[in-house]
Structure 1
Amino acid sequence: MKNVINSFVYLGHWPYAGSFGFNTDILATNPINLSVVLGVLIYFGKGVLNDLLDNRKQRILSTIRNSEELRKGAVEQLERARTRLRKVEIEADEYRMNGYSEIEREKVNLINATSDSLEQLENYKNETLHFEQEKAINQVRQRVFQQALQGALGTLNSCLNSELHFRMIRANIRILGAMQKITD
């Protein structure tokens, strides 16, 4: 500390202008050099520093403005996207409802078609059963008729003699002749 005070005391004792020398006292020369350098830097560097700070300030402000514009654009896009999403959700609900109603309609149509097909099959079954019953009845009738005819022929052959046989033939011929006259 004593040296610092001594260096300020020695400031008043500068050598005269005619002598030029190299001062090796570090404590005496550094504060002077530093104050000169700082004074020059402040005087000349003030404008440069102000320009740098103004440029930095302008860049920050333009970045903030750009960010605000981007944010506004993003908000607008978000709103448009939300609007499109609501619209798509409404359309999806409509498609879903239309799909369900279409499925129900197809289901009803399929049930009706199946019911009609079953009804037709039932009718075909009943017709087939009726036809088969008629066929079976006709077959039974033919057999009964054949058996009756064979029984009658057997009875006639056993009971008929040739005289009775000729009388029957003549009676049938007369009946046929009378029928023929009626039709003419």
Structure 2
Amino acid sequence: MNIFTFIATTGDFGINTDLFETNILNLSVVIGILVYYGKIAFTDIIRNRRENVIKNLQELENKVRESEEILSLAKANLETAKSKSESIRQQGNDLCIQTSESILSAVEDDIKRLKNSHILTIKIEEKKLLNQICQQLRSDAFKKSIELLKKRFNSKFHKKLVSKNIEKLSKKNLRIN
């Protein structure tokens, strides 16, 4: 059996046209009260919601402003850092150039000093060598003269030399007297 036929046969279901029995007035009073107090409640809820939305928007605007300030500060810091890094890079390049120039100058000075020292050393060695050669030549000449004198200085030569010297001395003595 169908539920609709069961309700229809019991008489509990149907359209009742009596206004007082149907509680239309009760329902309209309840609906009116609900509308009146619901309107107040909904107005409070909407007002609170509106205040929350406005408050959230203000907070978001403040956060946006703070973020923009932080961003501008960060950009300024970035520019400062860029300029400082460029300055440091330029100082590094200048220092590198100055250092390389001073090193080159020092190397040139060292090369000149070493050349002068080398020339001086060569001159000193030349003098030593020349002195050794002169000494050797003197020694050789002395040895040769000694050998030559030994060869020539025999008794005959000795007698001849002594007699010449005696003659010279005697001539001097005669002049003095």
Give the structure-2-normalised TM-score. Answer: 0.73
Q: 1:146 to 1:165 in 2, by over 3 A?
A: farther
What is the identity, as a one-letter code, of the residue corresponding to 1:122? K
1:127: which partner in 2? 120
Q: Is structure 2 residue 120 aligned with structure 1 residue 112?
A: no
SS in 1 for 2:15: helix
SS in 2 for 1:7: coil
Q: Could you say what the CA RMSD is over the residues aligned between the two structures, in angstroms?
A: 2.8
1:19: which partner in 2? none
The Cα offsets for residues 35-80 of structure 1, whole Å up to 9 and x where unpaired, read as 5654332222221221111011101101101111111111122112
Q: Is structure 2 residue 151 aligned with structure 1 residue 158?
A: yes
Q: 1:83 to 1:12 in 2, by over 3 A?
A: closer
**Offset at residue 34 of structure 1 (A):** 6.4
What is the identity, as a one-letter code, of the residue corresponding to 1:131? I
2:48: which partner in 1? 55
The 10-residue stretch of structure 1 (73-82 or 103-112) with the greater mean CA deviation from structure 2: 73-82
- Distance (Å, rounded) in 1 between the aligned partners of 2:62 and 2:107: 65
Runs of 4+ in 1 over 3 A off after TM superposition: 31-40, 161-167
Higher RCO structure, 1 or 2 (CA under 8 Å, sep 6+): 1
Gap regions ≥5 residues in structure 2: 1-7, 9-13, 166-177
- 1:10-89 pair list within 5 angstroms: 11-12=18-19, 14=21, 37-89=30-82
Give the structure-1-normalised TM-score. Answer: 0.70
- Distance (Å, rounded) in 1 between the aligned partners of 2:100 and 2:65: 51
2:174: which partner in 1? none
- Distance (Å, rounded) in 1 between the aligned partners of 2:109 and 2:116: 10
* Matched-pair identity in %: 23
The 10-residue stretch of structure 1 (125-134 or 32-41) with the greater mean CA deviation from structure 2: 32-41
Gap regions ≥5 residues in structure 1: 15-27, 171-184
Q: How many residues align?
A: 150
**Offset at residue 157 of structure 1 (A):** 1.3
2:142: which partner in 1? 149
**Offset at residue 152 of structure 1 (A):** 0.3
The Cα offsets for residues 153-184 of structure 1, whole Å up to 9 and x where unpaired, read as 000111114636986xx9xxxxxxxxxxxxxx
